[in-house]
Amino acid sequence: MKYNFKTMLKHLFLIIVLAVSYYLWDQKPIKHGVGITAPDAPQVERGFRLTEHYVKHYTLEPKFRIKTTSRVIANKRYWFDEKSDLAPVDVVLGWGDLSDERILSQVKTPISRRDFKVDVIRPPLTFSEIRSKLLYMHAIPANDEIADKLKRVKEGHIVSINGYIVDVHDQSSVLWTSSRQGNSAKLDNSQYVLVESLELLD
């Protein structure tokens, strides 16, 4: 029995090592080399009537329509916090200079506790220029297919996204609002985005 128990522990340890190794390999960033990989800023539109959407027990009130092809600079999955059943993945997207590995080698955007910060090693751009080329998104999948694709997103992917920037309500109150500056979406702060289509381009 003693020998069998030790053998079982060895097998269990090997399984854990293999699982961790696969996870680390699967999360390895995608490299594109020097050069801008997503040149255009997101298209954000308002001024037309948008109907409410319903996801689980939440009501989503669209504020803007958004369309973007951008580079994933950082992403993080959540399983157990209060928003994870609605928005299981947070993503920082960049475009223009913030899709160029020459610039990204000097700029990091770690995500933690539903927020992100900008760490600059050697400033290649001003802080305001960096923030102006970022979108911080709490991604709300419109269906199971989108949810599965979001789980496959990793740093370096070029993604094409169509959807809506929304405010989130439950039955009694407004829970979470997307950040705005006047009548415009403040893209580099928290944006709750209902993702209706998602393509992983590279």
* Predicted local distance difference test score (pLDDT) of residue 124: 87
Q: What is the pTM of this model?
A: 0.85
Whether residue 48 has pLDDT greater than 90: no
Would you state the pLDDT for residue 55? 87
| pLDDT above 90: residue 64 | yes
Radius of gyration of the chain (CA): 19
Q: Which of 2-6, 54-58, 150-154, 172-176 has the lowest mean pLDDT?
A: 2-6
pLDDT at 104 over 70: yes
Residue 126, pLDDT > 60, answer yes
Scanning the structure block, which residue is given the tokens 């393509």?
Answer: 199
Instruction: Determine the average pLDDT of the residues in 117-129.
Output: 91
Please state, in angstroms and as integers, the Cα–Cα distance from residue 88 to each residue in 7, 97, 106, 148, 152, following that order: 38, 28, 28, 11, 12
Beta strands in the chain (DSSP E): 43-45, 53-55, 58-77, 89-94, 107-108, 111-112, 115-116, 119-120, 134-141, 158-169, 174-176, 180-181, 184-185, 190-200
Residue 198 clears pLDDT 70, i.e. is over it:
yes
